[in-house]
Structures are given as structure tokens and as C-alpha cells.
Structure 1
Amino acid sequence: MAEPLVTRRLVYHLGGYDPVAPQAAYQRFVRELRRFTATWSVMATASAPIIEADVASWHVAASGPNWRAEIEYRLMRWDDVIEAAGRQPMWRRVPSALFAFLDFVAAGALWGYFRTNWRYAGFFLYPFVLFGLLAALAGGAGTLVTRTTESPIIGLCAGLAALVLLMRWPAERLFLPLLFDDWIFSRDYIRRRDAVLDPRLDRIARALAASVRDGEADEIVVIGHSLGAVLAVDCLARALRLDPGLGKTGPRVSLLSVGSSLLKIGLHRRATRFRNAVEHVASAPQIFWAEYQALTDVMNFYKSNPVADMGLRVPGRPVVRVERIRRMVDPARYRRIRRNFFKIHCQFVNGNDRRAAYDYFMLLCGPLSVERQVRYADGAVSAIGADGALRESAADVPHVLGNPVEMSR
């Protein structure tokens, strides 16, 4: 029997460590939605956003010649948490970041990064190596001034002034302050210190559980990008504690972790609470969970299984798909962004220029369920015609069998 098409979908999106205000996030969504409509020859419009303390939400209507889907999109806010961290003076952020670095090294996380994905180990080391180079430059300037003036005090002041200037530029251009804040937050999250985010996740979890009980949607999708994947798993685990039967009846519930940082947290020896949350979600068979990864994205763990690599024994979870960013974007645009690891990383939540097995907007706005798109070798490519119509044969195509990781190479 053919699986029913999705006509109503509720999406909870948890973004990464990116200080983007909800209005700006909405504008980016609308811009990328236009790219989606051009690529897939479909129509889609978004309503004006409603911005609240915990979420920013808007409705999307997407359609092709023979299908239509209504989507309620809820963006969980934590831009205020990120912005507050960015307002901290640098004299406090630098030592906190260095302490976080030592903490992750001492807790075995760095060795875990090398073991599972050496590119991510390089990403971890990048801000601290960069800071070391900038500190060395500042120290050299201070030494030169000391020799010129024969005054160690003047030399010390000159060195500190040089470091302050270097932390303004080029450090900000190279994302150093943001990356420092990212690792400081990650350490604090492991030790459960955030007084704002923790109760917010509880409220989102309650809303999610209520949405499943209401049963108004055909499908509920929780999607986490980058560090937001950690929060997505955390939130879903809280919802499962509120309602252990979540997803067994009513709407299908799916979890998507894309370009995720699950192992960033999970490989830290002290992250017991988070690993318990991962195991709780992975052990709920009624929740479909897929993980998307890409080689060129240094900010995810390419060709890894986050559950297995945390030492959790829940076989077959999640379904891991390895995709290629190159296949998603126009060749000219790919050449422009390939060396910008933030832009590559964000392609997981942007619109594609080319039809590909992974497409953020097709997963969230298309007529096929998330699970069907994940299990098809080419996503929705074979199911959607050149005119944007759902091909009649797509209704009867069975899920692809086999190892999705192998199929996507």
C-alpha cells in the first residue's frame, strides 16, 4: 500500500551557534526558499514571521501541479544567548576559551576527534592555533618596542595593545571571537550552566509533546544543524521523558541532524547527561532519525556514526547519509564558497541550485515524508518531475534497501 503524501508538516528547527536575529533568519529563509522554487519548478510562499521569546514562526505553502503541502516552521531562538556571550569583554573571553580548550583536551575529546574525523580535530585546533600566532605577533611587537625604548613596561603595554588590535582585526574577520564563544558555550553546556537555555528547551519539549498529542500535522520534523543538532537531540529526549509513547500514535516524528556537532559534545568524557539523551532518542524506534554529513564540511563528522562512536549500543541508529556539497550548488558558486568553511557548512540549511539527494527545503516542504526521502537513493530527484509534479510511480516505489552510506558515495 502506498504511503500517504504529507499535506501538513510541523517543523522545529534548531540552528547552530550563529548570532542571527530571527528577522534576519526569516529573510535568509525566504531568499533560499526562492532558490528552492527555481530548482524544483515548484511554488512556495512564506507568511510574515511571528517573533516570540522562545520561537520565531511562520507558515509556508508549497505546491506542485498535483500536490500541496502546508508547513508550520518554528525556529527555536537562542540568538539572545549567543549575543549575550558576544558582549562579554575579550579579557574574560580569552581565558575562558583557553580553559575550555584545556578541558576538552583533558577530557579526551581531542583524541576522539582525531580518531573519528581528523578534519574536525583541525577545526577544533584552528582558533587556538590562530590565537597563538596572534599572541606571538603581539609579543614580537612588544619585544621590539622594549628594545627600542629600553623600557619593559612600555614594551608590555605595546604588546598588549597590539594583541587588542589583532583581536579586533584580523581575528574577527577570521571568526576567532565567535569560535571562542562556541567552545566556551560547549563546555558550559556539558556542565549544565546555562540558566536561559535549559528552561527554554523544557518549554520547547512541552510544546513538541503537545503538538504530537494534538495530531493536527501529518508529520513532525525536528531538525538540528551544527551545534543545534545537540539541542535537537536534547529537546527530543526531554519530550520523550514527558511522553514515553511520543510518536507511537498520531503524526510521524522524525529527527534530522545535519552537518551535526553531536560528537563534539558526545566525545567529552564528562558529557554523560548528553550521551544519555542520545541513547534515549536512539532507543525510541518510533522516532525516525537520519544524519546527513559531507566531506567538504570540516565542521561535521564525515563518515561517522554518532551513536556508535559514543560507545552506545543501539544498532542501526541513526540512518547515516553522506552527501556531496558539490552536487547541490552551481559550479561557479561552489568555486566561490569551497574555501569558506562557514558557507559550506551552511549549505545544509540553504537552498540548492541543483536537484540533489539532500535538499533542506524539499525535506521540509515537499510532499514525501522525510523517511521516504532519506531512504530513496536520490532523495526526491526521481519522484519530482521537471515541471514540479509528483510522478505517479513515486507513490508506489518502495523504500530503498541497503546501507545508505554506501549508496551515497
Structure 2
Amino acid sequence: MVHFPGFEPLSTEDHHSRYQRSASQSAAVWDAAFSVAPLAGNRVTVTGEGPGWRTETTLHILDHNALIQSLRDCGPLTEIVRGFRAFFIAAILEGGFLAYARTAWRFSGFFVFPFLYMAFGIALGLLLGLAPLAVGLPAVHLLWSLPLGGLIFWRIFLPFTDRLHTRALFANWQMAVKVARENDPLFNGWMRDQVGAVRRAFAEDAEEYLITSHSMGSNLAVQVVGRLLEEDPGFFRGKRVVFATLGGAALQCALLRSARAMRKRVRLIAECPDIEWIDVQSLTDIINFYKANIPAACGHRDVKQPRHIRLRFRHVLTDDHYRRIKRDFLRVHRQYVLGPSRRGNFDFTLFTAGPFRAEEFVDFRSDRLPDLGRFQRPE
């Protein structure tokens, strides 16, 4: 298994720790045992066991923390300017806003939110700074009012935006533009390196090969797997491969006008006879393209579309747990790869290290849950 995490400033070690915590939660919920070994580079062995079954999964974590840090390694003002530039490029030049609104209107709201919020803060600071003129005072009063407005923006508003991860979302959209346009040497080099990482991982023997990706990681996974198929169309031949996109966000980059090569790679993945594409979506999550078919949205209606797993987070979390997170849209979006607090039709640990083939999860429902006791221990 190879995993492309979402856009979070987490190292490979952090993602490993998260998987360990989630596996512990899943074990408690499903009355199973999941043992997550220590990291060896970016590779970890996960052992699952229950009544009548035992699995062993080799997980390769392909994090992109270095790319995130390259975007955020600057001062707040530079980050804000670069973010608004990315917004203008994505929304206007690349036609992103209209494309998102046509495909999943709630995602277009997620797109504009951080920029509208930051614009409100800037406007508020300017209004406070220009207040003396508004009430008829001489312009000399701007000498104290403008610094005061700037200070309120800098010391009060800007720190508050971090609670909503506003500047992190600015960096996210910078990355979306770079991934779509493929015009940044650092990003292009990273993607080329990951093509080699997938090749090495899938050279190992396995009963099932699983590629999972979450959020922004789905855009990277499409680029990497698509490039691999461009170089070697028969690479996956003879393997049982599942390509699972969690959070349905691969269209974040693919719908931008300049992402022509990426849209061709979407087609390569959808057409590959050795790959079963599964898209995990949730109505609760505003950051995914709910009910959208990724190839069709990219203009490829004539190819096999991904099979969907429709997940309701309230069905895999206790009422109290769900109540605590439901207003934090980024926390809700992370739930695809986090542990459950009760049994439901999807569980990331069970999906990646349990006894079922990944395709079987498509047929699970809240009234038809996985039965971990159905397997008989061999004599």
C-alpha cells in the first residue's frame, strides 16, 4: 500500500503516529487487533488479526511536507500576497470558481471563504485607519489612526485567522495552482521521485495493491500514478490494484484550465484495466465533490467511472463525538483517515489492513456492516 496524505504540515513520523492512534481506535470498535510497527524510512508494517483471520500490510507513506514548508517558509505579509495571487489565478484566469460551482457548489464556498475572510480583515483595518476622515477630522489624525488600524489587523485579527487555518488554506491554493500548471521545479521533481517510490513499492509481492490518497493528496496521486502509466502502460498488469481517493478532492486541481496533462492522466487511470478506482465521499464534508464522477467532470464520460463509497460521519462517530467536530469543516474533512468511535460502512484502518478486499467496502451499508467473524481460522 502507498498513501498520499492530505495538505497538512505533518512529517512521515506524524502520519505514522496518526495511523497508530486510528488503528487503536479501530481495534477497540471492531474487537480486532492492529499492530503498527515502527517506521523504517517511510515504510511500516501493519498486522491485523481477529477471529479466523490475519493480515499483513506494508504501508509506504509518501508525504509532501517539504512542499508545504516551501510554501509557508515566508513572512505573513508575503504569504497573504501570494495567497491572493493564487486566488486570482485559480478563480479568474483558470476558471476555478465557475468550474467548482458547476460541479459541487459547496466546494466553491470552501474555495472563496479564506479569501473573503482575509479581505474582510484588511477592509476592517483600513476602515479603522481612515475613520478620522469619515468623521470630518483633519488628515493629520491619520498619523495615529492608520498605525492603529494596522496594529489591530496584525495583532488581533491575523492571529484569530489561524484558528480557522486561513493562511494554511492560502498555501493550499498556491499548491493547487503549481500542481495544475506543473511549472515549479520543486513540485515537478517531487512528483517524479514519487513515481519511482510507487515503482519500488509495487515491485514487492502482494495479494492486493492499494493506492490511497486524501484531499490534496488525491491530486498528487493522480499526477504520480498517471505519469507512471504514461511511462509504462503495462506496469500494473497482473496485479490487483485499487486506487482509492478519500474526500473526492482530486478535482481541485483537475478542473483548472491549465491542468490538461492532469486530465489526460485521469483518463489513463480510469481506462487502466488493472485498476479499480474507488472514490470515498461524504455529504457532511464540504471540501469534497460529493456525487461527482472525477473522470466525467474532466470530460471523460466514455470511460469507466469510479465506484463510490458514500459515508455519513454521524454513522461512524458517537453523537457526542460528532457534535464536537461537526462545525470544524477541516476536522470533519480529516475524518476519512481517522479512527471511528462506532462501527460504520467505512473505516480507514479496516480498509487498509483488515481482512476484506478494498472493493468489498463499496457494498457495505449502515444496515449491512462488515462481519469480522465470518472468517474461519484455518486448521
Q: TM-score, normalised by structure 1?
A: 0.86
Which secondary structure state, in structure 2, belongs to the residue aligned with residue 362 of structure 1? helix
Please tell me whether residue 130 in structure 1 is matched to residue 114 in structure 2. no
Cα 1:377–1:32, aligned 2, differ >3 Å: closer, same or farther?
closer
Q: Tell me the equivalent position of 2:240.
A: 252
Which secondary structure state, in structure 1, belongs to the residue aligned with residue 242 of structure 2? strand
Q: Tell me the equivalent position of 2:205.
A: 216
Please tell me whether residue 331 in structure 1 is matched to residue 319 in structure 2. yes
Once the two structures are TM-superposed, the CA of residue 346 in structure 1 deviates from its matched residue by: 0.6
Contact conserved, 1:134 with 1:166, CA < 8 A, in 2? no
Quick one: distance in 2 between partners of 1:149 and 1:21?
Answer: 51
Q: Tell me the equivalent position of 1:230.
A: 219
Q: Tell me the equivalent position of 2:374.
A: 390
Aligned counterpart for 2:79 among listed residues 65, 77, 93: 93
1:9-408 maps to which residues of 2 (within 5 A)? 11-51=1-41, 56-106=42-92, 107-144=94-131, 147=137, 150-166=140-156, 168-212=158-202, 214-249=203-238, 251-374=239-362, 376-378=363-365, 382-385=369-372, 389-391=373-375
Contact conserved, 1:338 with 1:344, CA < 8 A, in 2? yes
When the two chains are superposed, the root-mean-square deviation of aligned CA atoms in Å is 2.1
Once the two structures are TM-superposed, the CA of residue 205 in structure 1 deviates from its matched residue by: 1.7
Which secondary structure state, in structure 2, belongs to the residue aligned with residue 169 of structure 1? helix
Which secondary structure state, in structure 2, belongs to the residue aligned with residue 196 of structure 1? helix
Cα deviations across residues 67-86 of structure 1 (Å, max 9, x unaligned)? 11111111112112212322
Contact conserved, 2:267 with 2:303, CA < 8 A, in 1? no
Which secondary structure state, in structure 1, belongs to the residue aligned with residue 35 of structure 2? strand
Contact conserved, 2:132 with 2:145, CA < 8 A, in 1? yes
Once the two structures are TM-superposed, the CA of residue 364 in structure 1 deviates from its matched residue by: 0.2
Which 10-residue stretch deviates more, 194-203 or 73-82?
A: 194-203
Quick one: distance in 2 between partners of 1:288 and 1:346?
Answer: 23
Once the two structures are TM-superposed, the CA of residue 168 in structure 1 deviates from its matched residue by: 3.5
Contact conserved, 2:2 with 2:201, CA < 8 A, in 1? no
Question: Which amino acid is the alignment partner of residue 266 of structure 1?
Answer: A
Quick one: distance in 2 between partners of 1:154 and 1:273?
Answer: 53
Once the two structures are TM-superposed, the CA of residue 166 in structure 1 deviates from its matched residue by: 4.1
Which 10-residue stretch deviates more, 81-90 or 189-198?
A: 189-198
Question: Which amino acid is the alignment partner of residue 69 of structure 1?
Answer: T
Contact conserved, 2:178 with 2:187, CA < 8 A, in 1? no
Once the two structures are TM-superposed, the CA of residue 315 in structure 1 deviates from its matched residue by: 3.3
Contact conserved, 2:128 with 2:146, CA < 8 A, in 1? no
Quick one: distance in 1 between partners of 2:38 and 2:132?
Answer: 57
Question: Which amino acid is the alignment partner of residue 384 of structure 1?
Answer: D
Cα 1:215–1:49, aligned 2, differ >3 Å: closer, same or farther?
closer
Number of residues of Structure 1 aligned to a counterpart in Structure 2: 372
Contact conserved, 2:248 with 2:290, CA < 8 A, in 1? no
Question: How many percent of aligned residue pairs carry the same amino acid?
Answer: 26
Quick one: distance in 1 between partners of 2:319 and 2:211?
Answer: 31
Quick one: distance in 1 between partners of 2:10 and 2:366?
Answer: 29
Which secondary structure state, in structure 2, belongs to the residue aligned with residue 208 of structure 1? helix
Once the two structures are TM-superposed, the CA of residue 159 in structure 1 deviates from its matched residue by: 2.9
Contact conserved, 2:44 with 2:60, CA < 8 A, in 1? yes
Quick one: distance in 1 between partners of 2:338 and 2:325?
Answer: 13
Quick one: distance in 2 between partners of 1:267 and 1:200?
Answer: 22
Structure 1's unaligned 5+ residue stretches are 1-10, 393-409
Cα deviations across residues 152-186 of structure 1 (Å, max 9, x unaligned)? 34433333333322454111112111011111111
Quick one: distance in 2 between partners of 1:211 and 1:89?
Answer: 38
Which 10-residue stretch deviates more, 31-40 or 168-177?
A: 168-177
Contact conserved, 2:53 with 2:375, CA < 8 A, in 1? no
Quick one: distance in 2 between partners of 1:126 and 1:261?
Answer: 17
Once the two structures are TM-superposed, the CA of residue 277 in structure 1 deviates from its matched residue by: 1.3
Q: TM-score, normalised by structure 2?
A: 0.92
Quick one: distance in 2 between partners of 1:354 and 1:20?
Answer: 26
Which secondary structure state, in structure 1, belongs to the residue aligned with residue 267 of structure 2? helix
Which 10-residue stretch deviates more, 252-261 or 104-113?
A: 104-113
Which secondary structure state, in structure 2, belongs to the residue aligned with residue 299 of structure 1? coil
Cα deviations across residues 215-243 of structure 1 (Å, max 9, x unaligned)? 51111111110010011111111222232
Cα deviations across residues 50-93 of structure 1 (Å, max 9, x unaligned)? 23xxxx22111111121111111111121122123222112222
Which 10-residue stretch deviates more, 221-230 or 24-33?
A: 24-33
Question: Which amino acid is the alignment partner of residue 33 of structure 2?
Answer: M
Which secondary structure state, in structure 1, belongs to the residue aligned with residue 343 of structure 2? coil
